Structure 1
Amino acid sequence: MNTELFDRLGIPDRMREIAAYDLWDDGLRAGLDAIAKRSATLMDAPVSLVSMVLDTSQFILGSYGVTSWVAEVQGVPAEWSMCTHTVLAGEPYCVVDGLSDPRHTENPFLRMTGLRSYLGVPLLGPGGHTLGAHCVIDGRPRIFSDLDLAVVTDGAEQAMALLESYRRPS
């Protein structure tokens, strides 16, 4: 595990904020799946996710088009997750072609899945922390438009509104 990454993601207040949600609720998961499907459909993309990025891993809460081992384990190590970059930046993060982008050419996730392009928007919690991301991923290089960004941003806002309805009282 990359200790610098762990330190940046494992901020105690951020982790407590993530823990305040009932992330295992079937209704929440179904709602987030619907949001992911809508974004993928509107953008004609094969994969979309709503995920939380924990201190060591990305945890997929809602998805569309996720298959194989990723669907079974419902996530990937934080070092492999493109959503980690979105969370750490705290702003939209875009990759046109991960196989030629020096930040991602060595990423095992891209090699194993065949996915190449990514557009993610942060999920901003009420405590001010970036908790996760809503993203769309494609298997081809792709230049994302302002309209694509608006679709993913809208999905992220819908995802946070839904998550808030599953927030446990403190």
Structure 2
Amino acid sequence: MKTDLFDRLGVPERIREIAGYDLFDPDLRTSLDALAQRSAGLLEAPVSLVSVVLDTSQFIIGSHGVAGWVAETQGVPAEWAVCTHTVLAGEPYAVIDGPTDPRHADNPFLQMTGLRSYLGVPLTGSGGHSLGAHCVIDARPRIFSDVDRAVLADGAEKAMKLLDAYRLR
């Protein structure tokens, strides 16, 4: 079923740009996992992701602290992914306390995982499209600072440099 979200995420140039990376390369995955671990440590968050958001799903390409079904499936539907909001905004996106935020109170991902706060910055490709996000997620309500945003922005920049090294030729 085609939806407004599908139309907004399924921009052909954006999807082609995502498809231009070797997202399954194990060395890329190892490097992105290390980047996520670094961001989680610097921001004292239990979970950090590097992900791309396709037209219908979020695909986790690097992570720290992800467990259970999310780790097994390596993603969630786009309508559940808070990173979708980051991608659509094209700028940093924060959630202080998901259960009390009307935008996210009914989000199955937050309900099932018990995670509550989120800060993400977009991964911007060379074509200018937001391809995904680098984020931290916490189990406690949290107000994120400009320093937190800067740490993630630096991580997103590093993630894009890594991705660029794994472009399919």
CA distance, structure 1, for counterparts of residue 98 and residue 155 of structure 2 = 23
Alignment map for 1:2-17 (pairs within 5 Å) = 3-17=3-17
Kindly provide the amino acid, as one letter, of the partner of residue 15 in structure 1: I
CA distance, structure 2, for counterparts of residue 64 and residue 99 of structure 1 = 23
| Residue 157 of structure 2: aligned partner | 157
Q: Does 2:49 correspond to 1:45?
A: no
| Residue 86 of structure 2: aligned partner | 86
Equivalent residue of 1:99, what SS?
helix
CA distance, structure 1, for counterparts of residue 54 and residue 24 of structure 2 = 15
CA distance, structure 1, for counterparts of residue 112 and residue 7 of structure 2 = 27
| Residue 71 of structure 1: aligned partner | 71
CA distance, structure 1, for counterparts of residue 167 and residue 102 of structure 2 = 38
CA distance, structure 2, for counterparts of residue 142 and residue 73 of structure 1 = 27
| Residue 168 of structure 1: aligned partner | 168
Instruction: State the shift of 1:43 in Å.
Output: 0.8
Equivalent residue of 1:122, what SS?
strand
CA distance, structure 2, for counterparts of residue 152 and residue 139 of structure 1 = 18
Normalised by the length of structure 1, the TM-score is: 0.98
> Cα deviation per residue 1:40-72 (whole Å; 9 max; x = unaligned)?
000110000000000000000000000000000
CA distance, structure 1, for counterparts of residue 123 and residue 9 of structure 2 = 14
CA distance, structure 2, for counterparts of residue 154 and residue 13 of structure 1 = 25
Q: Is the 8 A contact 1:2 1:79 kept in 2?
A: no
Alignment map for 1:90-105 (pairs within 5 Å) = 90-105=90-105
Distance 1:2 1:142, change over 3 A: farther
For structure 1, the 5+ residue unaligned runs are none
Equivalent residue of 2:127, what SS?
coil
- Amino-acid identity (%): 73
Kindly provide the amino acid, as one letter, of the partner of residue 14 in structure 1: R
| Residue 106 of structure 1: aligned partner | 106
Instruction: State the shift of 1:2 in Å.
Output: 6.3
Normalised by the length of structure 2, the TM-score is: 0.99
Q: Is the 8 A contact 1:53 1:59 kept in 2?
A: yes
CA distance, structure 2, for counterparts of residue 109 and residue 81 of structure 1 = 7
Query: Which aligned runs of 4 or more in structure 1 are off by greater than 3 angstroms?
Result: none
CA distance, structure 2, for counterparts of residue 168 and residue 88 of structure 1 = 25
Instruction: State the shift of 1:146 in Å.
Output: 1.1
Kindly provide the amino acid, as one letter, of the partner of residue 41 in structure 1: G
For structure 2, the 5+ residue unaligned runs are none
Distance 1:46 1:2, change over 3 A: farther
RMSD: 0.8
Matched residues, number = 169
